[in-house]
Amino acid sequence: MSTLGQFAAEMKSWFSQIDPLATTTLVQRAYRDIRKSRDWSFNVQNGVWLSPSPISTGTVTVTFLSTQVACDATAYPFWAAQATTAPPLCPLTQRQFRVTGGPIYNIVGFSPNTPSPGLGTITLDRPYTEQSASGGSYYIFQNYAAAPTLDFKRWLSWTDPINDYRFRRRNLYRTKEELDRMDPQRTSYSWPYIVATHDYTLLPGDTQMRPRFEIWPLPSQQIGYVTEWLVNGEGGVSLNSVLPPQISDETIMARARHYGHQVVANQPNVDVKVKAWHLNAMRAADAEYVDLLNKDKMADNSIFDSLVNNEDTGPVLNGPLDANFLQSHELFLIP
């Protein structure tokens, strides 16, 4: 299997009219088209999302319309210990905060050793809009999961290996509006079994925003959920990258020639006959590309077909069920 750099060199022999630096761009564009043409098995990745243990030790002081929350001496050691953590645990500034019975806030900052009324303060993502209080109980946890990669496409699987259940496939694509209907106050704490869309977030070190998802019911203990997802396949590919064996050299070159003929045909002051020849050659390259791509897709299916959806039939219930769930979600018992 050749590399993209070798394909770029071969393109120079096909199209001497094109700047050598441009052939690299055309080959990368061709390979991008192929990677995005289907859900290839080599675009499947897996990992873990670790739900950290909630923090509720000690008390906090909250102030109406302030973004600062101060902790007492009992809570401070627990906050400081989680200020910086190694993956897959997330630091305190990527977790959520709420006082007992209040709405959920995102923590966006932590300042240790701040003066009275506490030893440290966290910064919320928006002003605190409930009553000011001192010495109140609180809850720091994580129920938002950022996409594991920047070129994330969609979830394929979530499983809880400790409590022995999986997230039903349809529950990987729920929306925030559905959760607002089922639990607008987000008061349900249990074993999660739903992943819903939420917003976008910019993580430290990222150059672009990535989607973030809400996990429901809210996690109440530390568990590592084994996850599997698809990527678009646009990142992590260089001119010297090892390419997947399912994609043949001929397929990449056929698509690259499409762009090469297109560039030459659209150059200014090109002869009409030359333009017509390159347009015909582009259409021939397109036909060759479609045939070769279908063969590559068959080769990919022989390894495993990531397009297959083996969703169970029957009622939409799945995962851990208890009396609280059955009483509060009676309508969802209908198949």
Whether the pLDDT of residue 94 is over 80: the answer is yes
Q: Quote the CA–CA distance of 263 and 257 in Å, as a whole number.
A: 10
Higher-confidence residue: 111 or 328?
111
Q: What ranges in the chain are assigned the alpha helix state H?
A: 4-14, 20-35, 76-81, 176-182, 249-265, 272-303, 323-328
pLDDT band at 316 (very low <50, low <70, confident <90, very high): very low
| Per-residue pLDDT at 117 | 52
Lowest mean pLDDT among 69-83, 272-286, 320-334: 320-334
Q: Is the pTM of this model over 0.95?
A: no
Cα–Cα dist 56/98, whole Å: 10
Residue 235 has pLDDT above 60, yes or no: yes
Take residue 32 and report the two structure tokens written for it.
């991008």
The mean pLDDT value for 18-41 works out to 91
If one compares 314 and 101, the residue with the highest pLDDT of the two is 101
pLDDT band at residue 203 using 50, 70 and 90 as cut-offs:
confident
Question: What confidence score (pLDDT) does residue 295 get?
Answer: 95
pLDDT value of residue 328: 55
With contact defined as beta carbons under 8 Å apart, do 215 and 195 qualify? yes
Q: What is the mean pLDDT of residues 176-205?
A: 92
Neighbouring C-beta atoms of residue 59, cutoff 10 Å = 19
**How many C-beta atoms surround the C-beta of residue 332 within 10 A?**
12
pLDDT > 50? residue 216: yes
**pLDDT value, residue 50:** 93
Q: What would the mean pLDDT of 138-147 be, rounded to a whole number?
A: 94
- Mean pLDDT for the chain overall: 87
Residue 255: the pLDDT is: 96
pLDDT of residue 194: 95
Closest CA to 213 of 195, 225, 231: 195
> Is 332's pLDDT higher than 80?
no
Angle of helix 4-14 relative to helix 249-265, nearest 10 degrees, comes to 40
Residue 330 CB: number of other CB atoms within 10 A? 9
Work out the percent of the chain whose per-residue pLDDT is above 70. Answer: 89
pLDDT for 303: 85
| CA nearest neighbour of 11 among 262, 243, 234 | 262
